[in-house]
Amino acid sequence: MQSNLDGKIVVVTGASKGIGAGVSKELANAGAIVMLCARNTDQLNELKKEIDKENGVAHVFQLDVSSVIQINKVFKQIYDQFGRIDILINNAGLGYNHAATDVNEADWDEMMNVNLKGLFFCSQQAGKYMIKNGYGRIINMSSQAGLVAIKDHAVYCASKGGVNLLTKVLALEWAENGITVNGIAPTFTYTTGTAERLDNPEYLAGVLNRIPVGKVATIKDIFSAILYLTSEHSGMVTGSTLVIDGGWTIQ
């Protein structure tokens, strides 16, 4: 599929590692001007160096998405500097294992503040600027855990289920403004962060036992979905969550 990303202003939250870092590099390689947002600016600066070496363009912004004040400040700064926000990739997220009986209030608040509250207020700020320009693409990083129950993931599953429904509401409210809002729900994805577990043959076998296609997802799989959802070919697609799980959730 031909890239439509050349020169687009793309904001990626949680860009310092994992899927966020991987798709940021792919976006830059495709010609996008990538706003790298995360709490850890040391990691972001290292990522920017990698992108610079490949002749890509990226800018670093420190952002803790659990802070609405920071969200408002950073998105205004980006809009003031570039005059538009074309695409938002809401990737920032936390994921921990908690038996339901062990979850405390701090566990609940920490994950919800990032996975759901932060995602909403990033969308809100991007949405305001996209409405001004009459165009925008928002992609919310959900999970297969937002579609099926996963043991010891009560808070995580609840947060991602919320992301899926929030995606529908924002899509409905902003469709008339030339904005589409969609989600991506991956299965286990191979990154530097998941390599330690997925390189363990016993752990990997347990994962693959649940994935009919017999393999985990890659950054290329995730980016291909982003490429589609930001292209002219998906103009009639909004409020949907594209499941990239190799069949995990169909069983």
Give me 200's structure tokens: 């363990």
222 sits in the region (left: phi over 0; alpha: psi -120 to 50; else beta) called alpha
Q: Is 190 a catalytic residue?
A: no
Can you point out the beta strands (E) in the chain?
9-13, 33-38, 57-62, 87-90, 136-141, 179-186, 241-244
The burial of 107, by beta-carbon neighbours within 10 Å (0-12 exposed, 13-18 middle, 19 or more buried), is given as middle
Catalytic residue among 79, 129, 156, 190: 156
Q: Report CA 121 to chain centroid distance, whole Å.
A: 14
Query: Could you list the active site residues?
Result: 156
